[in-house]
Structure 1
């Protein structure tokens, strides 16, 4: 799931990595939404071809801008495949319109508030960087310059941008 040689970007991400590893070791079905404590999710950090902007979508339930992503489905061969599927579903892109080396780019653990009959729970989010191919165009969302995103008050998005800017 997380390569042994994965290098956390900062102390915050190091805590997320440790929490994710402990979660996966402790539960029998980490990707299942029926796991009450939380579950694995996959996200796509989509950058434009020159690597200066990231694509964000408006999340209605959480009322904020986020990278595309969501729950893993049984047909997803891996969290990366789940992130790619979510990216295509949420942006209107096809698999052929994005590039990715498949390497884990970021790890984040965040609490999702209770909603309806679903109690609050954690999303153990595995995030992968995707690059938009020249000529492709997502249909929903907006581009935000990485320099602007790096200054966001949302630590998780800021870290994604700072990582991308750092190379």
Structure 2
């Protein structure tokens, strides 16, 4: 009989990396600074706070993909949530860093194998989950941005109903309040604003 896996031990390297990333991240405004401090408080209280098998609220990594022109973003129509989002998801024990988790998720969910996000996060977003997400109740999302090559061709993954390029000024209905600030932060980080 094998011992059950301890998420705090299995994810210790990602917990340490996420703490370091958030410690050194310079938040662009007071709201983001409050989230940054809240994430650090959460991590300090939960050694397993980066694991899906940890507390119902845990860190995730995501990546907004911007096209080569800077005028479109690639969104996925999430199978479980039934809504359009940036690419991303849970950290896995094989991810070396929080950045690596966001990059892996972007590549898997977009089908674009050479995506390379900028090295620092562009936004934090804490949100409650609605729908069939098992024990997951809240994601403390750390969001990166990547620019796709002009010849990038996205493919739908098993986690999505669809992936599609959307004009930055015509995001899908019902997503604008959440995604518009991310699109602005991502485009600013890429030097497009």
| TM-score calculated relative to the size of structure 2 | 0.74
Residues 125-136 of structure 1 mapped to structure 2, 5 A cutoff? 125-136=141-152
Task: Summarize deviations over 1:106-146 as a string: whole Å, max 9, x none.
Answer: 11111123637x33521111111011012121123111111
1:43 and 1:31 map into 2 onto residues whose CA distance is 13
Measured at CA, do residues 152 and 64 of structure 1 come closer, stay the same or move farther in structure 2, by a change above 3 Å?
closer
Q: Which residue pairs with 1:164 in the alignment?
A: 186
Structure 2: give runs of 5+ residues left out of the alignment: 1-20, 157-162
Measured at CA, do residues 63 and 105 of structure 1 come closer, stay the same or move farther in structure 2, by a change above 3 Å?
same
Q: How many residues align?
A: 163
Structure 1: give runs of 5+ residues left out of the alignment: none
DSSP 3-state at the match of 1:149:
coil
1:50 and 1:26 map into 2 onto residues whose CA distance is 42
2:24 and 2:67 map into 1 onto residues whose CA distance is 29
For structure 1, which segment, 130-139 or 105-114, has the greater mean C-alpha deviation from structure 2 after superposition?
Answer: 105-114
Q: Is the 8 A contact 1:113 1:120 kept in 2?
A: no
Task: Summarize deviations over 1:17-68 as a string: whole Å, max 9, x none.
Answer: 2321211121111211122231111101000012111100101211100011
DSSP 3-state at the match of 2:125:
strand
* Higher strand residue share: 1
Q: CA RMSD in A?
A: 2.3
Q: Which residue pairs with 2:53 in the alignment?
A: 34
Q: Is the 8 A contact 1:8 1:17 kept in 2?
A: no
Q: Which residue pairs with 1:122 in the alignment?
A: 138
Moved over 3 A (4+): 113-116, 149-154, 164-167
Q: Is the 8 A contact 1:38 1:122 kept in 2?
A: yes
Measured at CA, do residues 114 and 146 of structure 1 come closer, stay the same or move farther in structure 2, by a change above 3 Å?
closer
| TM-score calculated relative to the size of structure 1 | 0.85
Q: Which residue pairs with 1:2 in the alignment?
A: 22
1:121 and 1:154 map into 2 onto residues whose CA distance is 22
Q: Which residue pairs with 1:85 in the alignment?
A: 104
